[in-house]
Structure 1
């Protein structure tokens, strides 16, 4: 959910993914027996991270108006993704049971499914063929569907169009072009070359995975059972990031950047290139931005052409302890229908999962980055799937940060990461 909080801080009028719907507190366990029906239908709770926008309120009010016997109550959990995950897990374990439908980060699907906390879903119940194909993979575990994609996301390269135009250059399609322009064009105008999210947190896991994937490598395979990171591709990907800091075209201060710090640096005119999520487009186009009207966005570059982004976003899942699973599945179908998905974009400013919306001429006029975002999503890949994803992410970010900070060579960093991931995989 980190990408959702970043969007919330970056946009004043359009914050994150769900809404400021005035939700009442979730009912206590003893109150949940009221209205329980044997046909799987009845009232529900929908749990999601906090710091939410205002668009879902009317959406849920529409559902409640049309389904008075199956009303949904929104439960807003803390802003922190770690706290949200912890509260969800506490409720999903035996003795919990407040939550029926959960809006979970795409990286949590495998963990929750492997633990038996969320129920498998029927593929033919949902129009998966209408979604952008890569997003469906984030909702599966061991070949089964355990959630339904709700919001997607993919990293993009934001660039200073005005500065590239003055230099007679086009946006980079390869790492070599990015590095050359960051080293030669940026200093002419007194700006930094390139930045992403390089503080050791989930954002660095994403940036590292993108570099490894773009080079043709992998981190884990076989649903987390196989360590795949000890490869030339992984050494090339981590080496690319480490070389950027060593040679100065990645500013050292970027080692402390999360989404918002990096967005602000670009928006303040301090960077030539930025890797970030699409939400940054609106902030950089808004009042007070020094680069409004002067920038563009393209897919991430790779070694020999367009690279591979990591998929972000969230999926909707049904708790294995849901009181009314049929109503829960119907609510998910409603929230992933085309009408609500359009509102995800137009009112929530977040990337929908419905493919047709990316080709809608009116939407493309309103959101000019949609074609590039579509290309990024179609070329994207999920984060490493593992029942122990949190430990995997901590290992990736710690090792990558040491390599970028020049504390360890990329070769040594990859060997160390392979060993740490092997130890994690043995915990299955």
Structure 2
């Protein structure tokens, strides 16, 4: 009899405790996220979350370019098809008011609620801030990171020649002026100093804002319930002219250069310095793909006359106000952002927002660019915060590219940006 009781006790400890510790048993949530290596990894780990909470998760992954339209069609103030939605930072003003402010999220029953201001690295939380509230939980530390070939700056012969020509030491460029000097110098060595982003895509808007901010100006300012175009024409023209100068030392075809072209040139060892998004950096550190692997220094971008500026592009998890499963949705977000889950997700390619993950020695030794992310986030800036951001972005992108590639003069291009953004504001009653 004692043996039977002992056996039953073991069974209870193994299975019974698990059942009683599932506070949401019988609950199903639907989650909408972008599709990449990170969310595939999240999907593969969901069973663990379900076992610990009793929550059944239906995870829908879409290409990031389809997320805006899907969210607009699926989430409103009174109705939602999803209990948790991932939102790209520039579109938080468009959807922010449809989500429960993070301060109103319930405490977790299984996983701990994240403190946005102490648990996350500096700059990340600001990506989810809109109209006086954090609108959700930022889930990644996505920001411009500057990559520089350290083997080039450490080349003794180059150092000697450069110092003779320019009067200062060849090193990681701290300013755009230094980057331009180094680019000119390396052009005689068969090395391109810089690789721009000039595809007709969102990345071109990012480049424009990155340069404007470094030169001490931005496009749009919110004053109470109104908006004002604040782009300083003189500073914006200076920013564009510097970008044009750097492009003189870019690879052939720079006038239509996207991520794939930039990655290829850098991996072939032909480019000295450029920005990169964290999710793409592992490709540069793959010794089978890149001759630059192991030879890259990661930092914040060079400074303009005003400051250093790194474009931020975090994703936020938001709980629609219309969701009927808000507590369960919050629990899933807490699990995703937990240290325990994060350790596995980092190995799958996540750029963590948590300080204790990004700066963990075990990860920094494997992923030295984590320190570059940490540094860059201290200088992070956002794209214009506006409910109809996509229209603002189109105006900036089209005219920035026209000015940079010479289809318009910088003066006309900047005038067009100011005029076009004002027209968008008027269209929406501002």
Give the TM-score of the pair, scaled to structure 1: 0.83
Write the mapping of 1:19-418 to structure 2, written as runs, cut at 5 A.
Answer: 42-53=27-38, 54-68=40-54, 70-77=55-62, 79=63, 81-93=64-76, 97-113=80-96, 116-122=97-103, 126-129=114-117, 130-166=119-155, 167-168=158-159, 169-185=170-186, 187-222=187-222, 225-245=227-247, 248-251=248-251, 253-286=253-286, 287-304=288-305, 307-348=308-349, 350-418=350-418
Q: Secondary structure at the match of 1:73?
A: strand
Q: What does residue 6 of structure 2 align with?
A: none
Q: Secondary structure at the match of 2:124?
A: helix
What's 1:36 paired with?
none
Rate the CA distance shift 1:94–1:299 in 2: closer, same or farther, 3 A.
closer
1:220-252 superposed Cα distances (whole Å, 9 cap, x missing partner):
11177121213433222222212333xx12345
Structure showing greater Rg = 2
Distance 1:424 1:341, change over 3 A: farther
**CA offsets 1:331-374 (integer angstroms, 9 cap, x no match):** 222222222333332322x3211123333222211111222220
**How far, CA to CA, are the matches of 2:260 and 2:176 in structure 1?**
24
Report the Cα offset of residue 309 of structure 1.
Answer: 0.4
Structure 2: gaps (5+ residues): 1-23, 108-113, 160-169
Q: Work out whether residues 84 and 320 of structure 2, in 8 Å CA contact, stay in contact via their aligned partners in 1.
A: yes
Distance 1:123 1:341 in 2: 24
Change (3 A) 1:211 1:252: farther
Consecutive unaligned residues in structure 1, runs of 5 or more: 1-38
Q: Which moved more, 1:409-418 or 1:118-127?
A: 118-127
CA contact (8 A) 2:298 2:368 kept: no
Distance in structure 2 (CA, Å) of the matches to 1:149 and 1:164:
36
Alpha-carbon distance in 1 for matches of 2:255, 2:343 = 36
User: What is the distance in 1 between the residues matched to 2:194 and 2:83?
Assistant: 43
2:308 & 2:200 partners in 1: Cα distance? 22
Post-superposition offset of 1:317: 0.6
Work out whether residues 78 and 322 of structure 2, in 8 Å CA contact, stay in contact via their aligned partners in 1.
Answer: no
Q: 1:280 to 1:84 in 2, by over 3 A?
A: closer
Q: 2:17 maps to which residue? A: none
Between the aligned partners of 2:104 and 2:232, the Cα distance in structure 1 is 35
Q: Which moved more, 1:319-328 or 1:309-318?
A: 319-328
